[in-house]
Amino acid sequence: MKTIPVLRDKKRYIVFEVISEQTVTRYDLAGEIFNSVFSLLGDAGASEINFGLLSYDGRYGILRCKREKTSDTRAALACVNTVRGQRISILVLGMSGTIKGATEKFIQQSIIKESEPE
Amino acid sequence: MSLFDARFYDLVVHLPGNAEEISRFSFVAKRYGYSGIALVNSKENSLHTVHKPAGLSIYRSVEISIKPSRLRDEIKKQRASQNILIVRGGDEELDRQAVETEGLDILLQPAKFNNVLAATAANNSITLGFDIGSIIRLRGEPRARELRIMRTNLKHARKYDLQMILTTDAHSLYDLRSPREMAALAGLFGMTTKEAADAMSKSPMEIIRKKSHDYIREGIEII
């Protein structure tokens, strides 16, 4: 059964871009992010931020977290530095309250921006 | 509107490579939202001719690593130049020699900082550097140790009104993080967002101003 609205966690959706030489698979990236969150915040902290990797297409991705814990989540994302020996870095494009907003505002925008100069 | 609309700088970037590498790094830095970087001990002779995006400036800095007894002479020798002088903190002896010499710009991550050193650093207007890169690279106990060092350094910096800067100590373009991430990481050891934003924009700008051609001494200017 669904939780009643007042008891639901307020969420934020973080849109990020993975910067790396070769494409990173979803499985590897999710593992590395979870690893980073657990090592930085501990088990108790990780249970609190309610995070989850919602979508990832090889370049752009959306991560869910609790509204009050966006700063901790950003810190944990910033701590990701290698995946299977390959150097990567995660650039946060923005944050939104809805998935629709996140996709429209940041992912589509940056795709449009990229195609413009040509 | 927000604290993050300012111009941001990263003053400790190690790029030993050629102009092409510097150019690639500068485009990524611009994307991350930086307005300027300073290359440490760069061998590239002509930084002006490097292909870089508009609105990003590249400065030069020198990291001095020498034994403590000769540090003072080395700083005196170099302080007249336009390069930003950086000393990586180490044991107390080295930190003491560094803060007691006027002309040094940045003391990066001193491990054993105390109130005496902080007061001296404030007198000589030396900026305290925080190496955020160590939080990114390390895991487990070493990271906890670095965070503890930064926490005590922050305490001293607040007490003695020291200028602070944040840096990722980048060796490649994958080490760079955007200013908001830097602020979030700085929050891990108790730095407020306002302090973090100032540490990436106001303090570096102040250092760059001091190293510009027009600057003579604090309080003196040519009209």
Reported as a pLDDT band with limits 50, 70 and 90, residue A1 is confident
pTM of the model: 0.90
The pLDDT assigned to B129 comes to 92
Q: pLDDT digit string (tens) for A27-66?
A: 999 999 999 999 999 999 999 998 889 999 888 999 999 9
Distance from the A93 Cα atom to the nearest Cα atom in chain B, whole angstroms: 9
pLDDT tens for A82-107 read 999 899 999 999 999 999 998 888 88
Q: CB within 8 A of B107, min separation 6: which ones?
A: B86, B87, B89, B95, B98, B99, B121, B126, B127, B128, B129
Instruction: Compute the distance between CA of residue A87 and CA of residue A27 in angstroms, rounded to an integer.
Output: 16
Residues 6+ apart with CB under 8 A from B166: B129, B130, B132, B182, B186, B196, B199, B200
Beta strands in chain A (DSSP E): 11-20, 52-56, 60-66, 82-83, 86-96
What pLDDT is attached to residue B82? 83
| Nearest Cβ partner for B184 among A71, A88, A91 | A71
Backbone angles phi, psi at B86, to 5 degrees: -125, 135
Q: Does A19 contact B178 at a Cβ distance shorter than 8 Å?
A: no
Residue stretches of chain B with pLDDT short of 70 = 1, 44
In chain B, which residue's Cα lies nearest the Cα of A69? B184
Minimal Cα distance from B141: which residue of A? A39
Across the interface, whether the CB atoms of A78 and B172 are under 8 A apart is answered no
DSSP per-residue letters across B23-44: HHHHHHHHHHT-SEEEEET---
B3-212 classified as CATH 1.10.1040.10: no
pLDDT at position A117 is 59
Amino acid B1: pLDDT: 58
Q: A89 and B139: CB-CB below 8 Å?
A: no
pLDDT tens for B48-75 read 778 888 888 888 888 888 888 888 888 8
| Topology given in CATH for the domain delimited by A9-115 | Alpha-Beta Plaits (3.30.70)
Q: Which two tokens stand for residue B161?
A: 């009104």
> Alpha carbon A41 to chain centroid distance?
16
Q: Which of A76, A85, A116 is nearest to A20 (CA)?
A: A85
Q: Where are the domains of chain B?
A: 3-212
